[in-house]
Chain A
Amino acid sequence: MTAAPAAPSAPAAAPTRSASLIDPQALMSIRSLELRARAVVHGLWNGLHRSPYHGFSVEFTEYRAYTAGDDLRHLDWRVFARSDRYFIKKYEDETNLRCHLLVDQSRSMDYGTRGFTKANYAATLAATLAYFLHLQGDAVGLLTFAEEVRDFLPARNRRSHLRQLMLALEKPAAGRATNLAAPMERITALVRKRGLVALVSDFLAPLDRLERDLSALAACGHEVVAFQVLDPAELNFGLEQPAMFEDVESGRTLYLDPAAARAGYVKKFEAHCAALRATCRKLGVGYHLVSADQPLEVALFEFLQERMRRGRQFRPGARGGAA
């Protein structure tokens, strides 16, 4: 990361002025995914410039003793002046970030009560991340999945690649189930070089194997972050009329009176989310619950903010390859 001004130790302060945030519903009315991503990222830039935390890019990490052959440009002359020893100053942004976006395109994502679906929201979120990273010169890859892996684009930092990525993200949701294991197994197999893996899904699937797969990813040295994208109606089961409810994925129908079923739903749902959150915490995976009515800038900002914080606490790898 070379371009972004960094202020890693800054506490969380989202772009609070709501006037500067774009309403998701208005955002989704923009047809082009790339335009949507651009709008969000530019808004975020503006927010960041106004904030007291300026960037997080070139960052000192540690000193090490000079050895013959080291670039003299990185020699810290001040330390030499004080201690008469040669130390090389090491920065964590010495390497470009390789980020892989794992985007859920199962049928359950094809649901929404706000005029757009979770799939739209997740695609926009992924596109925003991709565009943001692209602007920073990072390589971005994409893997979409439902029951199986649908598309895989290796991480690159080219303009045309970004366009391909946008096209893959615009594909409609399909598939009868959400299989979280398949994409993670695939990414573990394909991507040997450590990088960032962002998993964007509603996680409305059994979590039996999730811990094992996430730990496999983490063991490969990847920094993993999970975005759980949910519709507001899923969060509180905010439906009113009794009806025959049909599962988008399986087609199974149930007669439900939301008034009667709400309590049980919320209880089970919260337990599910809590289990997911606990798993993520246990494995050091970043977890972000994103409601579809939440402006994308907020989600993105929270992600960046947490990343900076985590980057200070935990740096995997000797050379500091994870941004």
Chain B
Amino acid sequence: MNFLTPLFLIGGLALAGPLIFHLIRRTTRERTVFSSLMFLLPTPPRLSKRSKLEHLLLLALRCLALALLALGFARPFLKNNPPLDPTAAPPKRTVILVDTSASMRRAGAWDAARERVDAVLRRAAPTDEVALYAFDRAATALVSFEEWGRAAPGGRAALVTGRLASAAPSWHGTHLGTALIAAAEALAESDGKRAPGPRQIILVSDLQAGSRLDALQAYEWPKGVALTVEAITARRSTNAGLQLVAEALDAPRTAETVVRVRVTNSADAQREQFQVGWARAETKDGFVGKPLDAYVPPGQSRIVALPVPKDAAGLDRIVLRGDDEDFDNTVYVVPPVPQKATVLWFGADAPEDARQPLFFVRRALASVPRFVVRVDALAPAAPLAPGAAREAAVVFVAEALPETTVAELRAAALAGKTIVFAPKTAAAVATLGAVLGGAAVGATEAKVANYAMFADIDFQHPLFAPFADPKFSDFTKIRFWKYRKLDAAQLPGARALAKFDNGDPALLEVPLGAGRVLVFAGGWQPEDSQLAVSSKFVPLMQSLLEIAAGAALAPAQAFVGDELPKPAGEGATLRGPLGAPVAMTAAVALAQPGIHELTVAVPASTTRFAVNLDPNESRTAPLGVDELERLGLPVMAPVDPKALPAAAVELLQAADAENRQKLWRWLLVAALGVLLIESIFAGWTARRQIVTTPETPSP
């Protein structure tokens, strides 16, 4: 028999206690009063002779109880013996959660992770159940419990190792919280099907500070699921990352413009001096143009304004040099290509007349970043070139139009275009009826007592969505002196996007075929209202152009893991940075950083956009385990047999054997039994003594 904590055997010395106490004449608890103790001295307890040991059976019972306790505390176990306790050490259920996020691309991290997984597999008992999950943005089961159970016991470790070998770090961010929840759920699902044993998650990760844990905030961690963190330590700790500062994307790239990038240095970095510069795909180590030096202390970030070189053609990335880890040292940049949009204006306005609506529309649409807008002002009676209305993004109508033009506009609206009616007079409203298919639409000049203002605005509509924030939703300062009173009932399917404070419709949307007709009851020119000179007008016009021109095919800037929705046209193909174009039949998750090209066959268009790494992946400083504990996860210390000396390994094995056998429980039960017998016997002896002892005279 061996002992896990043999020092407790010293407790066996307590056996001397009962022996001494049995040798000492019992100190009575009886009290006897005496007239005066002035002639008396206290009597020391007297030792009987050895031969006068009394109550030998009691003594033996007490010694036995103490000996059993000492043995139990010494945690005895039998080496190389099967567990005596069939319930001892039930099979463990383990989920190995391996980090495959982009930060695991750091030198040596992935190899270290595989080694850790191998070590975990070596430690697993034959009866244990193991599942292997890889995670970055989401957790994926590489080997499920069922697969582990189906595999032959000898081939299970090979199965896991093989599956892990086929995996590799991705370019995704680290959504650790989601992955932990998925692993816990996997353990919870497998619970109940078989006898529950210890359940644990072994997290093999670099546990970078950029890991997202917010999913755990609202998650109640299941009881009985322990978490062991096998933290991977990078060989080199310095890691700086690049991130485009969003504002720079919207600026046109010219010789004068700069692109601003944020250089972030990890908290445990050894270096502080970096270089940032432009590069091309074919550039290996150098820069195109002159790089900028960036001094970034550990744990801090600096924004570097990088001027765009004159020969900017083909420049699609900004790189960072001077860093140990290069997985996040490139940020891809695609300058946004402005979309050409034509706006038709039907009205008799003089272009530079500041009292006319056209004057304000020209200026409001001139600064839309996504579009290069051309406003074509046409006289109401002027003939309209065939197809011109269909090519225009928006058509504004302020006056009554001839029938041919009306037919063109109607056809364009039916094809999906947006026609905006802003009738200057009530008479011009008749054209609206013609465009809507001959409906009798009439309007009268409203009688405004003082002024009218917007009320009851539908902020859910895309037109007003940019104003939904309470900071921007105040339209009460815009006053209307004149407007045309429309009857919404005359417009089929009309929906009031805004109403005046007296309930009259202010802005109506009438669907027409694939397109729509928007009707402003009051104009924005100063004669009618203050709308044009308010801060709401430009965003409103831009929003109008956005919904009229339709959404962009792809975002200008995307991150790895973002989902690219299928574009509206047909024959869409996506070509990533690695290779051949892939036909898009559904939304595609972007998996690679780099320049992507989205091509739509009908209508023919091509959009290039950059996909970059999640900036959080650059925050590679280790996350404290206490952060996980703070979220309520029961984190256990990892065991690394390689890092332990031989004696410690032996101790671990002994602890494991002892844990399986749990002989101490039987010893404790035996000690309690002996104590019970001792109590009964001692009570019986005491009663017998009381009966046989003659009464002492009372004072």
Contacts and interface: CB of A to CB of B under 8 A. Distances in A.
A234 B211 CA distance: 89
B35 A243 contact: no
A248 B38 contact: no
Contacts of B692: none
Interface string B29-49: 111111111111111011000
B665 interface: no
Given A241-B28, A246-B31, A256 B36 contact: no
B624 interface: no
Interface of B: 25, 27-43, 45-46, 693, 696-697, 699
A223 interface: no
A244 B31 contact: yes
A245 B42 CA distance: 9
Where chain B touches its partner, the secondary structure class is: loop
A162 B34 CA distance: 32
A189 interface: no
Nearest to B26: A242
A71 interface: no
A242 B33 contact: no
Most chain B C-beta atoms within 10 Å of own C-beta, residue among A202, A231, A239, A257:
A257
A49 interface: no
Interface of A: 108-113, 117-118, 202, 204, 206, 231, 234, 239-250, 252-257, 260-261, 264-265, 268-269, 272
B699 to A, nearest CB: 5
B31 A243 contact: yes
Contacts of A260: 43, 46
B46 to A, nearest CB: 7
Contacts of A109: 35
A245 B40 CA distance: 10
A255 B42 contact: yes
B306 to A, nearest CB: 94
Given A113-B697, A253-B31, A245 B37 contact: yes
Most chain B C-beta atoms within 10 Å of own C-beta, residue among A118, A243, A248, A255:
A243
A256 to B, nearest CB: 5
A241 B42 contact: no
| Among all A-B residue pairs, the 10 with the closest Cβ atoms | A111-B35, A268-B39, A243-B32, A204-B36, A257-B43, A108-B35, A243-B30, A247-B37, A254-B42, A113-B697
B34 A246 contact: yes
A152 to B, nearest CB: 25
Most chain B C-beta atoms within 10 Å of own C-beta, residue among A206, A239, A244:
A244
A312 to B, nearest CB: 37
A244 B27 CA distance: 9
A256 B42 CA distance: 6
B33 to A, nearest CB: 5
B34 A245 contact: yes
Contact of A244 (B30, B36, B38, B46): B30
A242 B35 contact: no
B556 to A, nearest CB: 95
A257 B41 CA distance: 10
B279 to A, nearest CB: 96
Given A111-B34, A257-B25, A264-B40, 7 more contacts: A204-B36, A239-B34, A240-B696, A242-B28, A247-B33, A255-B45, A260-B46
A232 to B, nearest CB: 11
B696 A261 contact: no
Contact of A252 (B28, B30, B35, B37): B37
A118 B42 contact: no
A118 B34 CA distance: 12
Most chain A C-beta atoms within 10 Å of own C-beta, residue among B34, B46, B693, B697:
B34
A50 B31 CA distance: 48
A239 to B, nearest CB: 7
A24 B564 CA distance: 119
A242 B25 contact: yes
A269 B32 contact: no
A244 B33 CA distance: 8
B70 to A, nearest CB: 32
A231 B33 CA distance: 13
A240 to B, nearest CB: 7
B283 to A, nearest CB: 98
A249 B37 CA distance: 9
B582 to A, nearest CB: 98
A261 B28 contact: no
13 contacts: A110-B699, A112-B699, A241-B28, A241-B30, A241-B696, A243-B28, A244-B32, A247-B34, A248-B34, A255-B42, A257-B43, A261-B43, A265-B39
